[in-house]
Structure 1
Amino acid sequence: MTMHLAHYLGMLHRSLNELAGAFSEVGRSHAGEPDVHHICERLADQCVEHSRRLEPFVGRYSEEASDEPERLHSTLFSGTRAGGLGLLRDLHDLYLMAAECDICWTLIGQAAQGARDEELLGTVNACEQETSTQMLWLRTRMKQAAPQALVVAS
């Protein structure tokens, strides 16, 4: 029996690391927005912790390295931008990267149920909830930034 769970574990593991780096970079770049700076740093740490929590399963299921998250990161996130529109675009990129992690958590959760791996399922449930909260904050912060960035001339 071939288990493709390893592919998704590898993809999620790399995606989390890419997202952590992007959160940190956006937080530093937009340090003038104190909420963005502090929350992005906290969310970067959360992604690092999620990656750490995945490691036992990566070992158990023999992670398959994939360059997909790196390609997604380089396509979506080629560095931060300046100004109000830049903040909005950076948050948008983070949202799309977090959505990649979110769907990976969902699919891995389904596989964990199928494999009857309660330990993996517990990790998925905890981390998936935190990823949903990350996406909610990003969506809310984009809504807050949009009127200024898109309507008010700078």
Structure 2
Amino acid sequence: MTGIELTLRALHHGERHLAEELTTVAERHRTEHEIHHVATDLARWSAEHVRLLADAGHDHGLDLGDPPRDSSYGLLSALREKTAEALGRRPEPGLLLLRDLRDLHLDAARNSLHWEMLAQAAQATRDDGLLALASACHPQTLRQMRWTNTMVKELSPQILVSL
């Protein structure tokens, strides 16, 4: 297996994981409307990246699997919603939210590095398709990182000082 194939696999796995985690965080913090809505939108970006990476993998002889699970329906979703409602009334959800934002940021940063690696390899091998993919998707991953960073900056003072 080539380095490009390994990077495609790692990126596919990372984007799939990020899509699922963003959906989980959106549901867990349903009472925080900005978190819920933005995380849901950002999860769609990562889910689209997963689809595009699977297509690119196919072009390179890889089967990268099924699209990300849509965890916004079903029993698990109902359980998360009830948990979010219960947690919304206690002071600890702020710390949980900061932890979730930190973890999302680190997941997005990992994906960003993989996008950069893929872009560099695509340039070196003159693979215009992979370069176009990285050029289209990487800016959205950077935006995911900026959002998590901004939310941590905005929320940390009020959450950490109020403990």
Is this a same-fold pair by TM over 0.5? yes
Q: Paired residue for 1:83?
A: 93
The structural deviation recorded for 1:126 is: 1.2
Q: Paired residue for 1:109?
A: 119
Structure 2 unaligned segments of length 5 or more: list them: 65-83
- Give the TM-score, by structure 2 length: 0.80
- Give the Cα–Cα distance (whole angstroms) in 1 for the partners of residues 95 and 63 of structure 2: 37
Moved over 4 A (4+): none
- Give the TM-score, by structure 1 length: 0.84
- Give the Cα–Cα distance (whole angstroms) in 1 for the partners of residues 102 and 63 of structure 2: 28
The structural deviation recorded for 1:56 is: 2.2
Provide the alpha-carbon RMSD of the alignment.
Answer: 1.8
**Does the 8 Å contact 1:15/1:100 carry over to 2?**
yes
Q: Paired residue for 2:8?
A: 9
Q: 1:136 aligns with which of 143, 146, 162?
A: 146
Q: Paired residue for 2:59?
A: 60
The structural deviation recorded for 1:24 is: 0.2
User: What is the total number of aligned residue pairs between the two structures?
Assistant: 138
**Does the 8 Å contact 1:7/1:63 carry over to 2?**
no
Deviation string, structure 1 residues 13-70 (Cα, Å, up to 9, x no partner): 01111100000000000011100000010011110001111122211223487xxxxx
Alignment-mate amino acid for residue 52 of structure 1: R
Structure 1 unaligned segments of length 5 or more: list them: 66-79
